[in-house]
Structures are given as structure tokens and as C-alpha cells.
Structure 1
Amino acid sequence: MLHLPTLRVTGRQVCADMAYTHAVPKAQPAGHTVALGVDWGLNTLLSAGALRLQKDGRITALGAGGQFRAAGVLAKQHRLRRLSERLHAKDDQYLRLIGGRPDEHLEAKHEALRAEIRHVSDRRSHLNSALAWAAARWTVDQAIAAKASVIYVEDLRSMEAKGMGRTRNTRLSQQVRGKITDRIRHLAAETGIAVVTVPARNTSKHCPQCLTPLQHRKAPDKPTTVGWKWAICPNTGGCGWQGDRDNGAWRRIAARGLTHQATTVTDKASGQMVIRAVVDKLETTAVVTPTKTSRRDRSKTGPTRHKPPRPAPRRRRAPSPTRPHSQAGKRPEGHAPTDRRLPRAAHRHQGVNTTSTPTTGHRPRGAALGAGFHLHAHASPPQWETIPETQSDTGSLS
């Protein structure tokens, strides 16, 4: 459905913005069997994976999930943030120096500094917008690939930037999580995928398979990296799950959403689908059942079995044709004699039987000599003469 255009003047041209709307499937709050869980991280911006709700009530994982890493963009964002802080500090210093006394020299410098602050602010805004669109597009593509009908994300209001140190609090408050969620809702509405926020309580603390409190430690593949990214379930009797804490978090988020989808409501103020609270009775069923693999144990239990060497290729039983009287023809029976050396070209530009050698650039040794198997390629001699037909006593083709 087309709407009335909007006219705007850009330079010496008049542009018409033609708006239109198209029908999309309506997102449902419940009745989902495949869900995508999304977990937020500080260094790894997004971790997502899909779960399936079986008919018997079991929840199984569809693959190992994926991560959206934007370390380079986040590092540039932090550099711009530090630059903006220094510029604002200089701006405060200029205000103190001026102090109500007009000074043309200081005011000119102050105006240039204000222009630089606006430029840095625009760069940060554009960078955050591009990052939000890229992360949202990746999340919706993951849901489409897994054929999920709902995306469960953490409730951002529970993530407060308090009590984590000055640097970490600033990084958390400067994140673009709110923009990413809005972009996810915008892109998911086009394909009819529902976006529901769930409470983020204990998503990284409990095991996704047995709800046992996890033990966090350094990652085994990065023993020198500071942090507690690796989670191990102490319940070795029936579970023993271990993995990245972000991978366990998106499993907990998706499982909690699938089991609490009957409690999904629409917020009247924002019009968004939310799950307001965690029900203990439903939370006990929000566990991921490990899938059984059919891989057999291939660990080595003894010495390697000896394999006989590869047999020699079978030689041709039929004898070769006899050599014709002329120069041209098929290869004679047997190998080339080894008592004499192969003829070599006397000059760099060879005859019609060999490939010509370029006079510029790289000059291979074999091409300069005019002979050799691997060092140079030789063409077959021209078939200008007719090969006489000879009779063979053995009956082979001539």
C-alpha cells in the first residue's frame, strides 16, 4: 500500500520520499517449538543458539550455537569514548579560563574545540548505529536459518552498571544493547518472528542441563587470559557439562522462554512481549536434554596394524607396436636408450617441437637448455608426414 509522498529540498533538487507498507505475518506470543536464545556479553557482544521443544516435553539443542564478536569495533568505540572525555575536560578548562571575561583568542579556540566534540560525537553515533544493525541482522539470520519462530533475549533493565569498577561500569553503560534490541524487533517483525524478553536471573550461574550452580574458571584454551569464561558443572554423577559460560547462558534463556511461554504478556506501555517473572514450578522443567551421539570410541588401544606396501602397477601385457620406418609415429617398444644424452637446444629460441622461451621476465633453466622432463615442456612432433601402415605379426594395432 503506497502512501502520500513527502517532498524535501536537497540543494537545488526536490526529492519525493514515497512511503509504503506491506503485510507481514503476525508474531504469536505462545505455541513455539523452536526458539533462539540470545545472551549479552561484555567482550563477546552476542551469543545465540537454537533449542527445540519436543512433543514429550524434552528440550534439545540444535547445534552448538554461535557468537557475534565485534572486538575491533568495540575497541574503536572505547578509543572514541576516551577521546571524547579528554575533549570535554579541555572544554571545561576553557570555560574556567574565560570566566565571563571576553577573550577573542580563547573564544576562537573554544569554538574549534566545540566543533571537534560534535565531530567525535557524530562518529560515535554512526558507529553505534552500524554496530546495532549488524548485530541485529546476524541475530535474525540465525533465527531464520534455525527456522525459529521466537527470539528470547535477556531483560536489559536487570543489567545495572553498578559495583563493577569504574572502567567496567562505563563500558556497560556505553553499550548499544538497547539499540540492538530495537533493531532485532524491527527486522524480526518482517518475517513474523516474535521477540520476547525474559528475566536474566541466574542464566550464567546454573547448569543448563541440571540447574546445578556452576564453577567458573579460566578457559582451558586460554590459560593466560584473565577471566572466568569457562564453566564446569560439579554434578559429575549425572551431568558433568562444561563449556563457555555464554553458551550455557543462551541455553538457559531459550529453555526458560520455552517453558514460560504460556506466561508471555504484552506490555501496555511499550507494546512489547515480555515474561515478567520466573515460576519455580516451570523453571524445574527448563533443562536441556543432552543429545546422544553415535560416534564410537576411536582412541588407540594397541599398536598400529601393519599395512603391506602398495603393489606395483600391472604392466601392459600386449606388446607395443613395431617401430615404423619414418621419424613420426608411436613410441617404440621398450625404454629410451640410456647410453646417450638427450639432445639440447643450441640457442634460446627453439624449434617447432618445443615451447618457445620468452626473452623477458623469468627464464627457466630447462627452457634455456631445451631439454628436461619437469624443467620444460616439449610438444609432440608435427604430423606432416603420413605414417605408413605396417603389418604386425602379433596382431596388435599399428
Structure 2
Amino acid sequence: MDWGLNTLLSAGAARLHDDGRITALGSGGQFRAAGVLAKQHRLRRLSEHLHAKADRYGRLIGEDADHSLHARHAVVTCEIRAVSERRSNLNQALARAAARWAVDQAIAAGATVIYLEDLRSMQAGGMGRTMNTRLSQTVRGQIADRVRHLAADAGIAVVTVPARGTSKYCPQCLTPLRHRKAPDRPTTPGWKWAICPDRDGCGWQGDRDHGAWRRIAARGLTHQARTIADRATGQLAIRSIVDKLEARAVITPAAPPNDRADRSKTGPTRPRTTRPAPRRRGAPSPTRPSGPTGKRPEGHAPTDRPRLPRAAHRHQDVTTTSTPTTGHRPRGAALGAGFHLHAHACPPRWETIPDTTSDKGSPS
């Protein structure tokens, strides 16, 4: 598992083979909590603003017990307490969800150990006071504790490894990576996308956090013999890195399966004629039989069914009340000019008008 700034967790599975090779099982996954983290940062800024406001009221009040700002100071103090409770509840919910996700990933992969970055080395150098405040006020400590608790129930060990260089070097060849802003902007400096400059030997590129969890997994698997338990807390950890073991802490890319048959050339290519095949229209065909079945006639004559008769010959008289069942099954719009499947014409008007003429000639 790798800790990120905008992406809280990045995790994946790796396997140590008998010959010492380490391969990654899939591309891994990420626990994204952008909405919760945004709300957390908003509450943090609100808390900082309220604390600054309370400090200003405290300086203005001083030693005056009857100052008019005492009421406002009490209101701000209550707001600080409420915001702190909201932040605490949000952090606990986020820690529970992230830990549950991480342990579920390990259980699904059949893992026996979870490797975590050592949180004591998470302070980012050269990032400024604001960035380090964001790093220190996240819930990584709570997530780590809950991961240990849930993993113990599943019989999975949790080991912390040093975080130095996990995002700096390529997980496949240990070459220093070039960090760019995005995969479609390979010349713009950034920190999100990592590209290995060794194009001939490796050429790996991917998300910075995905490369980091591969480095963490490879480092933990190669240094597992140096795992020690803390006497005070009982937590498992790898304290130091051995250069000889670190040189072998690489992820071996799995070879793609070759299921296709061997298509190597075993003889000369068969010559092809330069004369094209005759056209379909020019090929003769036998006379069409009287029945509905038979071979395709010449040209593009329809072969599926004979030409439909007109509507008057398809049981659609002016007095039709239902669809006949004599073997003919109407097909929607083919019944008539725009009629629905069960819509029929009304009787003509002249059938309802009485005949006023007589055999005696004109009424005049």
C-alpha cells in the first residue's frame, strides 16, 4: 500500500516465486476519496479561521472581565468545538472505509502480508508549510491502526517498510524516473505521471502511486528476512535497507501468453493468379423453382419471400374486425399505408347513408 496526497491509497498484489523473481498480479487499484478529502480540508480551513478569530478576541479582551466581546468569544469557542467533532467523525468514517477496502483487496488476492510505508518519513521536503500541514493532518495513522486490526482477524501480517525512494525509482529497473504532469503531456514537469527514461531496456511508465506500491512490495519481499517486531507495541517493521537486497527488489514484467500456433514459413509462397474472380452477376444460376426455397437467382432479385400483394388482398377489408388466423401473420406497417398492427379501416361513409333514390325516377 502506498500513501498518496490526492489519492489516499494505492495498492496492488505481488508474488515472490521460488527462483527469486517478483511479479505483479494485475495493475492494482486506488482508493479515491476526493469528496471526503475536500470536505476535510474545508473543515480544516474553517477550524484555522475560527482559532485565529478566537485568538484575536482573546487579545482584545485581555484582563477585562466585563468586556463586551466575551459573548462573541464564547460563540466562537462553541463553533470550534462543533467543527472539531465533525472533523473527528469524518476522519473515523474515512479510516474505517479505507482500511476495510485495503484488507478486502488483500483477502481477494490471497495475500499473506501487507506492506505499508513508514509514516514517520511522510513529511515532504521542499513542499512548503501548507503542504506539510495537509500531510500531517490526514488520517493515515488511524488507517494503519485499523488495517492492523482487520488484517489480524484475517490472519494477514502487516509490516512497515522505509518509504525512501519508492516514488523516485523505476519498479522494473531502478532507474530514476522522470515525473510529468500527465501521460499526454510528456514534456510538462509535474509529479502525477512517471516515465522511465530507459527506453531500450525497460520503458515503463504509469501513475506515480502505482509505481510506488510496486517498489514497496518488491522491497518488502526481498527484505522479509530483516523483519523485526517492536517490543513495546508488537508491530512488525523493516528498519533499514540493504543495498545488495535492494538491487534485486525489482518487479519482473510477466511475459504475455502466446496461445497462437506457430506460423513460421516452411516453404515457398503459393503463386496467386492475376486474373480476378468473376463477378456475381455474371455467374449463371439455375431456374428458380416454384416453391419458396431454392438457390439464389441471378442478379439482386429478392429470395426471402415473394412480392407482397396489395392491402385489399391481405384480409384488410373495410369490415375486418380482427387479425385473421388463416396462416397469414401481418407485420406492422406492411399491413397497409401507415396502419398499426391492430388498426383497421372504418366502414366507408356510403354504407351508412340511406338510399333516397327510387325506381320511379326523379322526385320532381
Structure 1-normalised TM-score?
A: 0.67
Q: Which amino acid aligns with 2:201?
A: G
Give the superposition deviation at 1:378.
2.3
4+ residue runs over 3 A deviation: 221-226, 294-297, 315-320, 338-346, 350-354, 371-377
Give the superposition deviation at 1:223.
7.5
In structure 1, the partner of 2:148 is: 185
Question: What are the equivalent positions in structure 2 for 1:151-230 lying under 5 Å apart?
Answer: 151-160=114-123, 163-221=126-184, 227-230=190-193
Give the superposition deviation at 1:167.
2.0
Say which SS state the counterpart of residue 137 (structure 1) adopts.
helix
**Aligned pair 1:126/2:99, yes or no?**
no
Q: How far apart, in 2, do the equivalents of 1:201 and 1:253 lie?
A: 10
Give the superposition deviation at 1:49.
0.6
Q: Which amino acid aligns with 1:336?
A: P
What per-residue deviation string (whole Å, max 9, x for no partner) do you get for residues 332-357 of structure 1? x86231579996999xxx96669xxx
What per-residue deviation string (whole Å, max 9, x for no partner) do you get for residues 119-146 of structure 1? 1000000111111111111100110111
In structure 2, the partner of 1:244 is: 207
Q: How far apart, in 1, do the equivalents of 2:141 and 2:339 lie?
A: 65
Q: How far apart, in 2, do the equivalents of 1:278 and 1:345 lie?
A: 94
Alignment counterpart, residue 254 of structure 1, candidates 217, 220, 225: 217
In structure 2, the partner of 1:378 is: 342
Q: Which amino acid aligns with 2:37?
A: L
In structure 2, the partner of 1:358 is: none
Q: How far apart, in 2, do the equivalents of 1:151 and 1:44 lie?
A: 19
What per-residue deviation string (whole Å, max 9, x for no partner) do you get for residues 30-72 of structure 1? xxxxxxxx11110111111110111111111100001111111
Q: How far apart, in 2, do the equivalents of 1:168 and 1:67 lie?
A: 21
Question: What are the equivalent positions in structure 2 for 1:1-398 lying under 5 Å apart?
Answer: 38-103=1-66, 105-160=68-123, 163-221=126-184, 227-294=190-257, 318=291, 335-337=308-310, 376-378=340-342
Coordinate RMSD, CA, aligned? 3.5
Give the superposition deviation at 1:267.
0.5
Say which SS state the counterpart of residue 13 (structure 2) adopts.
strand
Which protein is bigger by CA-based radius of gyration?
Answer: 2
Give the superposition deviation at 1:107.
2.2
Say which SS state the counterpart of residue 61 (structure 1) adopts.
strand
In structure 2, the partner of 1:328 is: none
Q: Which amino acid aligns with 1:378?
A: H
* Structure 2, unpaired ranges of 5+: 261-278, 281-287, 294-305, 325-331, 345-364
Q: How far apart, in 1, do the equivalents of 2:199 and 2:85 lie?
A: 53
Say which SS state the counterpart of residue 24 (structure 2) adopts.
strand
Say which SS state the counterpart of residue 117 (structure 1) adopts.
helix
Q: How far apart, in 2, do the equivalents of 1:60 and 1:229 lie?
A: 23
Residues 199, 276 of structure 1: 8 Å contact kept: yes
What per-residue deviation string (whole Å, max 9, x for no partner) do you get for residues 301-329 of structure 1? xxxxxxx99xxxxx997569xxxxxxxxx
Say which SS state the counterpart of residue 310 (structure 2) adopts.
coil
Q: How far apart, in 1, do the equivalents of 2:217 and 2:289 lie?
A: 67
Question: How many aligned residue pairs are there?
Answer: 300
Give the superposition deviation at 1:266.
0.5
Say which SS state the counterpart of residue 120 (structure 2) adopts.
helix
Give the superposition deviation at 1:165.
1.1
Q: Structure 2 vs 1, CA of residues 316 and 100 (structure 1 numbering), >3 Å: closer, same or farther?
A: farther
Moved more, 56-65 or 85-94: 85-94
Q: Which amino acid aligns with 2:205?
A: Q
Q: Which amino acid aligns with 2:308?
A: H
Q: How far apart, in 1, do the equivalents of 2:67 and 2:199 lie?
A: 74
Q: How far apart, in 1, do the equivalents of 2:36 and 2:289 lie?
A: 66
Q: How far apart, in 2, do the equivalents of 1:162 and 1:54 lie?
A: 36
- Aligned-residue sequence identity (percent) comes to 67
Give the superposition deviation at 1:197.
0.1
More helix by share: 2
Q: How far apart, in 1, do the equivalents of 2:10 and 2:223 lie?
A: 21
Q: How far apart, in 1, do the equivalents of 2:241 and 2:214 lie?
A: 16
Q: Structure 2 vs 1, CA of residues 377 and 160 (structure 1 numbering), >3 Å: closer, same or farther?
A: same
Give the superposition deviation at 1:108.
2.4
Say which SS state the counterpart of residue 8 (structure 2) adopts.
strand
Q: How far apart, in 2, do the equivalents of 1:68 and 1:317 lie?
A: 69
Residues 153, 195 of structure 1: 8 Å contact kept: yes
Q: Which amino acid aligns with 2:190?
A: G
